[in-house]
Structures are given as C-alpha cells and as structure tokens.
Amino acid sequence: MEAHLSPSIIMRVHEFGESDLLIHFFTSDKGRLKGVAKGARRSRKRFVNCLDLFSLSNLEYELKPKGELHFIHSGKLVDAYPGLRHDFSLLSKASYMIELTEILFPLGVPDSRMFEVLEAALSQLAQGIKADLTLIAFELMAMSLGGYGINLEKCCVCGRDYLSEGIAAFKVEKGGIACLKCQHISAVSPQLSPPTVKALKTMQSPSPDVFRLLDWAEDLMEEIKPVLKRHRDYHLGKHLRTADYLE
C-alpha cells in the first residue's frame, strides 16, 4: 500500500519495544489513528520534534496488511504550540480536549471539521487567548459534531418553537431546552436566559472561526458551565479523568 501524508495532531505517545514509539494521532482526512514510529527513540532524524504531545505535524504513514495499526515512516513539524507547555492550566485544558475527542470519535472515523476545530482550539490556547471561553466553545462544538448537540430550537417536551423570549429550562435527559410551562427551574434543570441560548447556538456551530469571535460576559459563562457539565456527563455516560484538573 502506498504511503499516505496527512496533517496530524499528536494525541498520545507511548514507548513501544526497545526503540519504537506508539503514536495516537488525529488526521485531517482519516480521523483518529494509531501507528508505530519505528526507531523513533533511537534516531530522531526522521521525526525531528514532530512526535511531541499536542504538536501539529505532517505525518507520512501506511496501514499494516492486517489490523488497525499503521507504520509511521516520517514526519515534519508544523506547529509545536509551545505556549501550552509552560502553563499547567493550559496544558490541562489541552489534555481535556484530547480525551473528549477520543471518546467522541472512534478510531478510523474521519471528520475534517473536528480536526479543524481541534487545531484551532489548540492554537488559541497556546496563545493564552480567552482560555476558559475557548474550552467551553470547543466542548460544545465537539459534542455537536459527535452527535450530542443541545437542542436549542424548541421545547423538548411540547415542541413549541423557542423565539428567544424569556427564560428556558435545561432538561438533561432530553438534551435540550424546555419552556417553563413544561419544566420548572431547579438545581437539576438550570435556567438559560435568551442571551445564553444565543451564545450556545453560536458556540455549537462547528467552525474554527467561532474562536475568533468569543466575547461573552462572565454571567453567561456561569449559566453555561453547569448545563454543559450535566449534558456531557449524562449523555457520554462517563466522567472524563482530565476534567478533575479543570475544577
């Protein structure tokens, strides 16, 4: 099989045998893959700084005759995102993004939009720009691309269109908003104001351009955070290990 070249984000790196590295990477055209970089620990000539965690690199690889493991022949670093490596808070956010991507996208499921969103989010984080907003926007876009977007268009109980007028309640088991006739505000069904619903709609749009437009007040973020946490934990059915470092 011919070698394939893809822009790739390095997600995980493990020692493999005496001189090899096992690399988990997310590509622009093939989705999430894993492969072996032969001799990468012994000789860095073919992999000059391109296999470091979170780096964006152009990797040349081919699929083994059997199985899902690839041979990684060579690589060229595009961006190491050095800003991530000197700030524990930013590093924790990047790790969380990687873990969420792994959960939402199984091996070999391509999604070029998800690659673009992850690449843009890491770039923004590395610059230290609106890190908390960037993480929230990334999570909303990733969940939406992974099939778990929050329904913000109509009441998830009665079906009445939401016209951006008045408070809505979040109904976690339905994954959407409900009118106050169908759902009372409570600790398990937090409120969402019209500006917050508008912000959620914008941040669920799967486009890297969203990161450049982030500029919302803190009170909106405080409404979004508990909703997003409940939505993520309920619909993914698991707690992300890296989330502990964010709280």
Closest CA relative to residue 26, chosen from 91, 119, 90: 119
27, β-bridge pairs: 8, 31
Question: Beta 191-192 vs 168-171: how paired, if at all?
Answer: antiparallel
Instruction: Please name the amino acid found at residue 154.
Output: K
Tokens encoding 59:
């990797």
Asked if 195 and 173 count as a contact pair (C-beta separation under 8 A), the reply is no
Count of CB atoms situated within 10 Å of the CB of 148 = 16
Cβ-proximal residues to 218 (8 Å cutoff; 6+ apart), any chain: none
The predicted model scores a pTM of 0.91
CA distance between the termini of the chain: 46
Q: Rounded distance, CA 34 to CA 147, Å?
A: 23
31, β-bridge pairs: 27
Tokens encoding 109:
């499921």
Count of CB atoms situated within 10 Å of the CB of 18 = 8
Query: In this predicted structure, what is the pLDDT of residue 243?
Result: 86
Query: In this predicted structure, what is the pLDDT of residue 216?
Result: 67
DSSP 213: G
Tokens encoding 156:
């998830």
Q: Which domains does the chain have, with CATH numbers?
A: 4-80 (2.40.50.140), 88-149+189-245 (1.20.1440.120)
Closest CA relative to residue 151, chosen from 174, 167, 134: 174
What's the full length of the chain, in residues? 247
Q: Rounded distance, CA 175 to CA 230, Å?
A: 10
Q: Rounded distance, CA 154 to CA 176, Å?
A: 8
Closest CA relative to residue 7, chosen from 110, 115, 150: 115
Question: Can you give the pLDDT of all 247 residues of the chain as single tens digits?
Answer: 678 899 999 999 998 888 899 999 999 999 999 999 988 887 767 788 899 999 999 999 997 767 788 999 999 999 999 999 889 999 999 999 999 999 999 998 999 999 999 999 999 999 988 888 899 999 999 999 999 999 999 999 999 999 888 899 999 999 999 999 999 999 899 999 999 999 898 888 878 888 877 776 677 888 898 999 999 999 998 888 888 888 6
CA atoms within 13 A on the CB side of 226: 14
Count of CB atoms situated within 10 Å of the CB of 120 = 20
Instruction: For residue 184, give the 3-state DSSP assignment.
Output: coil
Q: Rounded distance, CA 134 to CA 8, Å?
A: 21
4, β-bridge pairs: 61
Query: In this predicted structure, what is the pLDDT of residue 97?
Result: 97
